[in-house]
Structure 1
Amino acid sequence: MTLRPLTAGDRDEFIALTRASLDLHHPWVVLPRTPEDFDAYLARYDHENAQSLLICVRDTGAVAGTVNINSIIRGRYQNGSLAYAAFVPYAGQGYMSEGLDLVLHYAFGQLRLHRLEAQIQPGNTPSLKLVERHGFRFEGLAPALLYVDGAWEDHERWAITNDMLAPGPWPPHPTLPAR
């Protein structure tokens, strides 16, 4: 598996994948299904405060899933929030697990974040198992945390810090104050 940034050139393929994966994603996530939605979605990812990455099969370049690192905050916080989704026909084959491993090493090693959070709806068993396998710790239930598909949904909060993942801890980002 490899990671690469989502770009405007991915529009048609990304839309086709999200349309093919509607049943897989519902009711957990809503991804762009039109060119206009895709353009607005891509505009949110400025690479400083948020990044959208594609998880690709190394041999073919096929897009197996997507991971977003949202709400990147520097200074004393050094935190980001993860959102992710697999695409049909690659769901359930371990690609997201490999991809998440790459994302964690990228977020801690390259972006030099201290902490990543994942907010997951309680009934999304595959997503909960994914973060558990990667060493995230459960931090509690947040009622009505995120607006998904027309409703405020409860979410479990899971997090991992850079000292919880080998070979961490990684050096801090230069924006971390000395004291």
Structure 2
Amino acid sequence: MSYSAEYVSTGARVGLRPFRHADGPEFTARVRESRELHRPWLSPPATLEEYEPYAAQRAGCGFLVCELESGGIAGFVNVNNIVRGAFQCGALGYGAFAHAAGRGLFGEGFDLVLAQAFAVDGLGLHRLEANIQPGNTASVGLVRGRGFRREGFSPEFLYVDGAWRDHERWAMTVPS
């Protein structure tokens, strides 16, 4: 497998790049390896048939967090439901893969996505939201530690892992 890629942004240990067709086998294998970590918080595509439309829908607003040393995929961050005009907002969807969890790689990649989302020459957004299930302490810690504020609670907000699940609404606006 070739790990050469043009990164949108790089940090000390990770780089961000768009989803590619060729990433399907590695991405779906990492999803299957990470089932215990992800459930019931999220259910990313675990088969190539699910991956293809998922990756295509994220063109321009989905990022793979990749280890610079190996090129391997450590996780993903998507900026979904972008609304332009007076709102300039997007909703984050993300997940680290089990082999990278606890190593700080995903946090570094998440910071790169935030910079990309708010940059005028990036997505140029003013606001980002993250909707998180109340028991997902790792995800709450990730956004809280980066300056997101809890803005509310949404009962039965998203259909995840076979059920309508409650979510806390966290948000931040462009850092000044």
Question: TM-score with structure 1 length normalisation?
Answer: 0.87
CA distance in 2, matches of 1:28, 1:143: 15
Structure 1 residue ranges (4+ consecutive) displaced by more than 2 angstroms after TM superposition = none
Deviation at 1:150, TM superposition (A): 1.4
Residue by residue, what CA displacement relative to the aligned partner does 1:134-166 show, whole Å, maximum 9, x if unpaired? 110110111111111111100000001103xxx
Number of paired residues? Answer: 161
2:151 corresponding residue in structure 1: 139
Superposed CA RMSD: 0.9
Residue by residue, what CA displacement relative to the aligned partner does 1:32-75 show, whole Å, maximum 9, x if unpaired? 1111111121232242xxx2110111222111110010001110
CA distance in 2, matches of 1:68, 1:40: 14
Q: 1:108 aligns with which of 118, 137, 161?
A: 118
Q: Equivalences for 1:5-154 in 2 at 5 Å?
A: 5-47=18-60, 51-109=61-119, 110-154=122-166
Aligned residue identity for 1:130? L
Ranges in structure 2 where 5+ consecutive residues have no aligned partner: 1-13
Identical counterparts, % of pairs: 51
Ranges in structure 1 where 5+ consecutive residues have no aligned partner: 169-179
CA distance in 2, matches of 1:90, 1:36: 25
Residue by residue, what CA displacement relative to the aligned partner does 1:93-149 show, whole Å, maximum 9, x if unpaired? 111211111000000011110000000000000000000111101101111111111
CA distance in 2, matches of 1:81, 1:105: 15
